[in-house]
Amino acid sequence: MYKFMRIQEFAKQLFSDEKTWKKASEIMIGILEAQSPRLSDIADRMPGE
């Protein structure tokens, strides 16, 4: 069966630095929500300015 893990937990496994894995998880969430390879679409879905 498939196993699922939260994006932040996955990012923690990839990056040891807390600041890095938090930013990486925000980017991953933006990519998944945008469902588009365009940087402008991804940036629109990410939190912040």
Residue at 1 is within a domain? no
Question: For residue 35, with 0-12 CB atoms within 10 Å meaning exposed, 13-18 middle and 19 or more buried, which class applies?
Answer: exposed
Residue at 35 is within a domain? yes
pLDDT of residue 20: 96
Write out pLDDT tens, residues 15-39.
999 999 999 999 999 999 999 989 9
* Domain span at 28: 7-45
Q: Find out whether 26 and 47 touch, Cβ atoms under 8 Å.
A: yes
Count, residues in the chain: 49
Residue at 21 is within a domain? yes
pLDDT of residue 1: 64
Residue at 29 is within a domain? yes
CB atoms within 10 A of CB 34: 17
pLDDT of residue 47: 80
Residue at 38 is within a domain? yes
Number of separate domains in the chain: 1
Q: How confident is the model at residue 3 (pLDDT cuts 50, 70, 90)?
A: confident
